[in-house]
Amino acid sequence: MRLTDISVRALPFGQAQKTYTDDTLAGFGVRVSKTAKTFVVVHGPTRERITIGRFPIISLSDARQEAKRLLAERTLGKRRPKVMTYNDAKAAYLEMSEQKNRPRTHKDYQRFLDSFAFGKTHMADITKHDIKKRLDKRKHSPTQYDQALRAVKTFFTWAVRQDYIAHSPCEGLQAPKAGTSRTRALSAEELGTVLATSLQGPYPFGHIVALCVLTGQRRGEIAKLEWEWIDRTKQTITIPATVTKNKREHTFPYGDMAERVLEAIPIIDNAQYVFPATRDTGRRRQATVFNGWSKAKRLFDKRLEGVQSFTLHDLRRTLSTYMASLGIEQIVVEKLLNHVSGGTQSPIAQVYNRHSYMKEMREAIQTYEDYLAKLLKN
């Protein structure tokens, strides 16, 4: 049959796949399945089938033009994209990434690419619409959207270089405009409620929240705590540069309230992590760290009364806000939070001022814990 826009739209979906060829261009046709109509090119004695894309996302005229190009390239002996599923391409990419990138970067790529879950879909069948639909699930978090988009763009660009696809379906996709920075700081009543609720557990999320409140550290750094980083005698925690956001080792003091939280944490024999998790790798169970944030936070929020929506990072901003109100110098707060880009010191001063501020940070923690203790009594 001669394929036209009208005839392609009229083709009935069926239980079994059926290919309708175009009389005007040998090898070009549309494959109709139960739910999709896909333009294809079949070429050569082996009847190799190349997928162009789905209708109507790709128009008939664009598909026919692409088919002519593909057939010309095959006739001239040029290389064409290999038939590759998303899972197979992802596995090859992550193998390369593990050798080339830092462990943290590699894990981020793996996490984001796993979340797209295209499975056994052929790489050439994945469209811009498919990617955008999965990205839109992250619209509530512009940062997550942007990171996922960058990861999948990098992956598909690599796939083009590997001849898995002819063109990246990510072309033209853009991250949403950045919103205003969060300014949320919990009220005194909210802070007291969150701390009191976290001290009641359960392990591990309650203990993580409590330590976020009491120390002001980032949630990811708290979740990755190892027992050997904690000096129970000096009441200090040292987070190595490989874990901190700014890649600088960070040693800070903690107070008696935080010590009681640590004492309440169950210690598994020979445990490396304060908040361990395990995953089944098929051969053995491998120790990892807590990462079930979304579900645990939803369950935690249900236990709170009179507290507006907040993120764990807001607890960090809250500590900074209340320490300032308690008269603690900003440079001390920044040292405690491991900020290196604050406005209290010039870049030169940051290089030459090697004072640790340990004494000042310890006094600040004590002042803050005294304030929190009063909130708990109210």
Tell me the pLDDT tens digit for each residue of 144-180: 788 889 999 999 999 988 888 888 999 888 866 655 5
Give yes or no for a contact between 153 and 131, defined as CB atoms under 8 angstroms apart: no
Counting residues of the chain whose pLDDT is more than 90, the rounded percentage is: 49
Mean pLDDT for 101-129 is 89
The residue-averaged pLDDT of 263-289 equals 72
Q: Which two tokens stand for residue 14?
A: 């069926």
Residue type, 135: L
Residue 351 — pLDDT band, cuts 50, 70, 90? very low
Question: What order of strands is seen across the sheet that includes strand 48-55?
Answer: 18-21, 28-32, 37-43, 48-55
Q: In which band, very low, low, confident or very high, does the pLDDT at 79 lie, cut at 50, 70 and 90?
A: low
**pLDDT above 70 (res 279):** no
Quickly state the pLDDT bin for 112 (edges 50, 70, 90).
Answer: very high
Rounded to the nearest integer, the mean pLDDT of the chain is 86
Of 250, 238, 254, the residue nearest 335 (C-alpha): 250
**pTM beyond 0.85:** no
Radius of gyration of the chain (CA): 28
The one-character DSSP state at 57 is T
Q: What is the band of 87 on the pLDDT scale with cuts at 50, 70, 90?
A: very high
In terms of C-beta distances under 8 Å and separation of at least 24 residues, what long-range contacts does 321-324 make, across chains too?
321/185, 322/185, 322/188, 322/191, 322/368, 322/371, 323/364, 323/367, 323/368
- Cα–Cα distance, 206 to 212 (Å, whole number): 10
Name the nearest CA neighbour of 237 among 320, 358, 128: 358
pLDDT band at 233 (very low <50, low <70, confident <90, very high): very high
Q: Is the pLDDT of residue 356 over 80?
A: no
Measured CA angle at 108 (ends 105, 112), to 5 deg: 145
- Rounded Cα distance between 243 and 246, Å, is 9
pLDDT for 245: 87
* Residue keyed to tokens 């494959």: 31
* Per-residue pLDDT, 321: 95
When pLDDT is averaged across residues 248-272 and rounded to a whole number, the result is 90
Question: What does DSSP assign to residue 230?
Answer: E
Q: Which of 175-189, 217-231, 261-275, 279-293 has the highest mean pLDDT?
A: 217-231
253 burial level (CB within 10 Å; 0-12, 13-18, 19+): buried
pLDDT band at 114 (very low <50, low <70, confident <90, very high): very high
Q: Does pLDDT of 352 surpass 50? A: no
CB 250 within 8 A of CB 238: yes
Tokens representing 70 are 């593909």
b/e sequence 30-62, b meaning 16+ C-beta within 10 Å: bbbeeeebbbbbbbeeeeeebbbbbbeeeebee
What number is the average pLDDT over the span 276-287? 56
